Each structure stands twice: as structure tokens, then as C-alpha cells.
Amino acid sequence: MKHYALAFATSIVALMSANGSALAQTAGGVIDVATIGEPPTLDPMASTADLVGIITQHIYETLYTFGADWTVTPLLAADMPTISEDGLTYTIPLRTGVTFHDGSEMTSADVVASLDRWMRIASRGKQTAEVIDGIAATDEATVTITLKSPYAPLLSLLSLNNAAAIIIPEENADQDPLESYVGTGPYRLEERVPDQYIQLVRFEDYASRDGEPNGYGGARLQHLDEIRFVPVPDPNTRIEGAVAGQFAYVDQLPVEAYDRIAGGATEPVVLAPFGWPVFVMNTQEGLNSDLRIRKAIQAALAPEDMMLAAFGSEDFFSIDGAWYPDSYAWHTEVATEPYKPMGDTETAMALLAEAGYDGSPLRILTSRQYEYHYKMAQVAQAYLEAAGFKVQMDVVEWATLTQNRADPALWDIYITHSPFLPEPSLMGIMSDSSPGWWATDAKHAAVEAFNAESDPAKRVELFADVQKVIYEEVPAYKVGNFNALAAQAPNLEGVAPAPWPYFWNAYLGDE
């Protein structure tokens, strides 16, 4: 309990300092941020990896971003778009006087070229391109996006920082892979030495929005001279670095290191809740193409024991069948009855008998890249076997998993996780082509209604229908909510706990 209290206090202090007193600080200072590794690219359009988004969100900016309450807020756009009555035309006013790191001024031509590139190479852009009829520059400072059908997730997709719709100079938009790392962000790339550091320095001509910081949006303050992202792939080394105080911020630490970090030179920061671990079902082929089998799995699993094995203490997870926790507008308890904290073996056995299960092995594809995936799989195996399943654990390393999950012949369940995404449409299972290949009429009806509705309040209600279909058709099993642990130097202020930590509002205070 003391852990939770301390973590809560840490988070609150950080949040308050991020939003309240940053303006009063003087500029200066260099911080080292320990990350989980070297990003595969510095082109956030080309990758959906969180690490790419964390680093490059300081270099590039998008038209929109997410505010502290996870609502969409303008960034390079001057304001929220004007949406036509039929929901098909988005007129986006652009800010003027925004300069790129190469000194050129951003215009609508850059925006159109960048969004074209996004639709051409970014996975989220390609997905969006299917509903986009055209993007045009109305004038120097206005862009119009025309849709084939109403598509409410558009602004969220334009806001996300991975597979991101970043705005780059028009002359760089043909580059694939990107070679000129020129954006409009508060920090520009000074030097990248792979596996050693990525050095970002303050962009002196940065045009910040007016007002106060608001999550990823609002004013972006440039107190720090430099931000250096240092890859430290070994988690034990990250822990030692945090304890020794070598870094101003250390990202993604194993939660079991909480006490050790609390006794060291940096302070633990808990982001609660951070995200969900998910068992994705292969609905296309094999055992799990039978809905009754998937329902039997849903009944058999005991999330409380699985999360306890994975995260060690209730300070770091919560049992929650709702796909979004109650701190999100999307939270709803609708249809969560099948989610039983300790499982329901008898129901699972009955469903299995009804399905005529023939004893074929249920193949769980997992990895030890994230140890908690593996621990959850082990507990799941015990409960599934208790219900009558024969379970085959296919434990591979992450690169193999990412390859094998694309082949429906190779697995029945694969385990993954995600931070809570601000827009439900970004969830993997919402796409028919995502591994799992969930594509049913009931899904399409619920998701299409959800995507077509532009009124935020009505969308919240419609998400309940989506969650209901998820529970009825079990394309995936959300195990619970888990927290993330990071560490922060006592004199580093202005950093709000966030799934993709950012440092443009950070400053160095007194020890």
C-alpha cells in the first residue's frame, strides 16, 4: 500500500510541476534520458514502435496532438477543423510563422506533401487512405481533407506519434527512407551515434503555441539546452543507472525494481494505469476459429493470478474487464460479465464439451522479451489445462514472434501489450488485417457505426457496443491494467508521467 501511496504522490507532484510552475523556470541544462534501446529509424512515419515516437516527437510535429485529457488538440493546425455537415470535408487552418529546422517556413504545400507521404508509407496512413478522397491546399494556410465516408478517428490518427502524420518540408517528402531529419519541433537533431546517443538541441526559432502546456499540446516550453537519448537495452543496467543517478530520466524499468530505485539517487515514477496485456486469438484458422473454443478460453483464464504472476504486487496492476480504465472517457462496464478474476473452470469445461474439443494442442505464441508475457502465459497454461485444454507453449524471441504471428497456420493465441491508446480505433483488433484477422458482420456493424459518428458523447456510447461485440466474439482477451515504472532525477521538473514521455516542458531545478 505504501508503494501505491508513494507512486501516486510521485505522479501527482510530477503532474503539478508539469502544468503549474514550468513557466517560471530559467532555460538551460542538458539531460540524459535512458531508453530501452536504439530506435530502428528516426522516421516516425515508417514505424509504429513506441521508442521511435518517444524520441522523434521532439523533432517533428503533427497537425494535431493529444491534450492532458486525451482529447485532440491543435498543434501545427491553428485550430480544430471545420467539419462539413455530412462529415466528409475537414477544413484545417494552419498556423503561420512556423519554421522548419532548415529555416524554411511551413506552408500548406508542405502539409499536403507530408500527408501524401503518410498515406503512402505509414501503416496508419495507408489505413486512413482507404477513406480519404483527396487532400488539397485551399490556400497558403489552409488544407482540406475530403473523405469518401465519415471517419471520426481521422483526427486521432493525425495526432498519434507513431506511424505519425508528421509535417516535413515538401522537398523531403519523396525520401523513403527519410534521410533529412527536418521537422518543426522544439528540438532538432544535432547528432546521432547509433547505440551511443541521439543528441537533440533546442531549436532557437521554434514557434510555440501560446497559453499553457496541455498534455502533448498547448505551449511547448524549451527550458533545456539539450536532450540526449541514451540507449541502455539491458534492464538491469537501466536499474543500476537509475540507482546511481547517472540519468535524469530512465524509461521502462521492471516494476520489481521499485524498492531498489526508491532507495537510490533517482525517484521512481509510476504511470498508473499504463496499458493492457492482451491475448490475441487467431480467429481465421485452427482451434480458435471456433467461437465456442474462444469463449471457453475466456471463461478458463484467471486474470488475477496471471497479473499477480506477471507484476508481483497489486501496486502495479489492477483487475479490470473494461477495455479502458475509468480514467478514460471510453470506460464502460458493458458486457464484461464473462471476465472472471479467478476464472470459471466449470463454464470453460462445459463450453469445451459443447465445442466437441478433440484434444488438439492450443498453441500459445509468446516471448521472453517481455518477461511478464511469459509469466502470464505460464499461469494461463495451468488454468487452460485445468479446463481440459491441451496447451502447447511456443516460446520464441521477439523478432521470431513478430514474423510468426503474421502466419495464421502457426498459432492460436499470441501475447502482446499496448499502452492505452487515446482512440479505440487504433487498437490492433479493430483492423481486419491485423494478426488475429477478426472480421465478422457484427464487428463491422459496431466499428463502422463507431467510426462514422463524429459527436464525442455519442462515440462513447457507441464504444460500449464495440466492447460488447468484443466480449461476444472474443477476438482478444484483455488480461487487466498494468502500470509502468520509470525513474526521474529529483531536480528534473516539468515531466508529466506519460506513455510516451516528453521533455519539452522539462527543466532542471534545485536538488
Partner 1 sequence: MLRSALNRLIGMAIVMFLVVTIVFVIVRVTPGDPAAVMLGPDATAEDIASLRERLGLNAPIPVQFLTYFGGILRGDFGQSIFLNIPVTHALWLRAEPTFFLTVFALAIAAAVALPVGVLSAYWRGSAFDQAATMLAMFAASIPSFWLGLIFMQIFAVQLGWFDTSGYGGPGASFAERMHHLVLPAVTLGLISSALITRFTRAAMLDVLNDDYVRTARSKGMSEWRVVVRHAFKNALIPILTVIGLTAALLISGAIVTETVFGLPGVGSLIVSAVLRRDYPVIQGALLVVAGLYVLVNFVIDMLYLLVDPRVRY
Task: Report the interface residues with partner 1, using CB under 8 A.
Answer: 32, 37-38, 40-41, 46-50, 52, 123-124, 126-127, 162-163, 177, 179, 190-191, 193-197, 199, 228, 230-234, 236-237, 240-241, 243-244, 246, 264, 396-400, 402-404, 406, 416, 418, 426, 428, 431, 433-435
Q: Of 347 and 400, which CB lies nearer to partner 1 in the complex structure?
A: 400
Give dist(CA 87, CA 82) in Å, integer: 10
Q: Which is nearer to partner 1, 243 or 387 (CB)?
A: 243
Smallest distance from the beta carbon of 143 to partner 1, in angstroms?
25
Determine the Cα–Cα distance for residues 344 and 342; give it in Å rounded to an integer: 7
Grid cell for residue 285: 484458422
DSSP code, position 358 = -
Q: Which is nearer to partner 1, 4 or 181 (CB)?
A: 181
Give the shortest CB-127-to-partner 1 separation in angstroms.
8
Least distance from partner 1 to the Cβ atom of residue 309, Å: 23
Q: Cβ closer to partner 1: 228 or 294?
A: 228
> Shortest Cβ distance from residue 333 to partner 1 (Å)?
27
CB-based contacts of 90, cutoff 8 Å, min separation 6: 81, 82, 83, 84, 144, 145, 146, 147, 154, 155
Helix %, strand %, coil % of the chain (to 5): 35, 25, 45
Which CB, 321 or 435, lies closer to partner 1? 435
The number of C-alpha atoms within 13 Å of 68 and in the hemisphere containing its C-beta is 13
Residue 390 Cβ vs partner 1, minimum distance, rounded to whole Å:
24
- CB of residue 257 to partner 1, shortest distance in Å: 13
Q: What is the CA radius of gyration of the chain?
A: 23
Q: For the CB of residue 11, give the shortest distance to partner 1 in the complex, in Å.
A: 25
Where on the phi/psi map is residue 249: left (φ > 0), alpha (ψ -120 to 50), or beta?
Answer: beta
Q: Which is nearer to partner 1, 52 or 77 (CB)?
A: 52
Question: What 3-state DSSP class applies to 213?
Answer: strand
Count of alpha carbons within 13 angstroms of residue 131, beta-carbon side? 19
Q: Which is nearer to partner 1, 313 or 433 (CB)?
A: 433
3-state secondary structure at position 133: strand
Under 8 Å between Cβ of 457 and 211: no
Smallest CA-to-CA distance from 158 within 237, 249, 92 is with 92
CB of 239 to partner 1, least distance (A): 9
Task: State the amino acid at position 223 in one-letter form.
Answer: H
Give the residue with the Cβ less far from partner 1, 89 or 123.
123
